[in-house]
Amino acid sequence: MGMKKNNTFLIPVEYKRLFDDDWREAAVYGGRYSMKSHTVARFLLIKAREKKIRIGCFREFQNSIAESSHKLLSDLISEYNLTDFVVTDNSIVNSINGSDFLFKGLHRNEQGIKSIEGIDIAWVEEAQTISKESIEILTPTIRKEGSKIIYTYNRLTEEDPVHKRLVMEGRPNTLVLNINYDTADKYGFIPSVIKAEIEDDKASRPNLYKQKWLGEPVGLDKKIYKDWATIDELPHEAKLVRRGLDFGYSNDPTALVDIYYYNGGYIINEVIYQKGLSNKQIADIILSQEEQTLVVADSAEPKSIDEIRSYGVNIIATVKGKDSIRQGIQFVQDQRISVTKRSFNVLNEYRNYFWKTDINGNVINVPESGFDHSGDAIRYAFSTLQAVEDEAPLNDPRLLEEESEPLYSLIGI
């Protein structure tokens, strides 16, 4: 059974409060198959047909329209044969009353967001990834009388900024809807193959069941890095001591980070986080920086390292070994770390970098992939900042970048 009947939207009664006018912000959260996105999308299409309104659809990270909620909305318009909507590659407009949908990414788009006018309803999808800074930019932008902001999300950790703001701390006139798969099951919306998977997880993998299907946050024991601070800008007295480079191209971004030493701790500053960069482009960016220091890169790309070195960059490969990832992570975690506010991708990966779990939901000492690009670059940089008591060969050229620097080990990452 689907969520329609005779081309009429079927909205579960558990979501009925969305249609009330006594709330300003809404936190709609839960586990998988709770119908959050599909129901909110239907709600927005209904409201857009009632009268002329402007709807802003946002995500923290949106590099293209394909990464937005445009596809979900356009698929529903096609499924329900809503011929009053005109769908283009970048917009959706109601041809009868003029209601329109716009789609924006929040990340590194402060001026673009602040310039938006006349939003009646804002929908932030995948809101578990939204930063506190983005919330603080978006909220005053949606300022029209009677305007609303809807956040839909699956919780990641206890530290999710949106959940802290709306549920844990609370805000005036906030609607909170915590809905899980049992609602979909109640109305017969869950396919039998998914229902069998849910029951198997519940019986055999209770921790995974709680996280995946009940939307409970990941425990802090699964979070790899903790207690990093965010600072507005680099202090003038901070000293650049290393750069770390993780290679990417088509599927993954190239990540380059600067490591500064300051007042007994380290500051991380993002330089590059971008797909499609050639080695020449990477070298040009490095050489264009005001200060130069040793670059430590992923040893899995020796040809790339050689090419970048040929352009005049002081670059070496990190040294990998047995258990080096875990040891490198531990060394970084043992430091006092701050991250500049402008380092959006570093901060996003910091919030979403977790240890893997086994089939029972128990943590194992292997990082999950996907949010590890800046994290790898950071480990590479720190691998040569890990002081050791044992003597290293004095003629090792990799350890003689500057006579004034202490002797460092390449053991680790």
Residue 407 per-residue DSSP state: P
Which are the contacts of 55, defined by CB distance < 8 A and separation ≥ 6? 44, 47, 48, 99, 100, 101, 102, 119, 120, 121, 122, 123
Q: Say if residue 397's pLDDT is above 50.
A: no
Task: List, as one string, the DSSP characters of 104-142.
Answer: EE-TT-HHHHHT----SEEEESSGGG--HHHHHHHHHH-
Q: What average pLDDT score do residues 50-78 get?
A: 88
pLDDT-derived band at 211 (thresholds 50, 70, 90) equals: confident
What are the boundaries of each domain within the chain?
4-199, 229-399
Q: What is the mean pLDDT of the chain?
A: 87
pLDDT in tens, 82-134: 999 999 988 999 999 999 999 988 877 777 788 888 999 999 999 988 888 89
Q: Averaged over 317-324, what is the pLDDT?
A: 86
- Domain 4-199 belongs to what topology? Rossmann fold (3.40.50)
pLDDT tens digits, residue range 162-186? Answer: 999 999 999 999 999 999 999 999 9
Which CATH fold would you assign to the domain 229-399?
A: Nucleotidyltransferase; domain 5 (3.30.420)
Share of the chain above pLDDT 70, in %: 90
Q: What is the pLDDT of residue 231?
A: 87
**Which DSSP letter does residue 76 get?**
H
Question: For 108, how many CA atoms within 13 A lie in the half-sphere containing its CB?
Answer: 12
End-to-end Cα distance, the chain: 52
User: Which tens digit of pLDDT belongs to each residue from 129-156?
Assistant: 888 889 999 999 999 999 999 999 999 8
Residue 229 CA to residue 339 CA, distance in Å, equals 6
Q: Indicate the pTM of the whole model.
A: 0.64
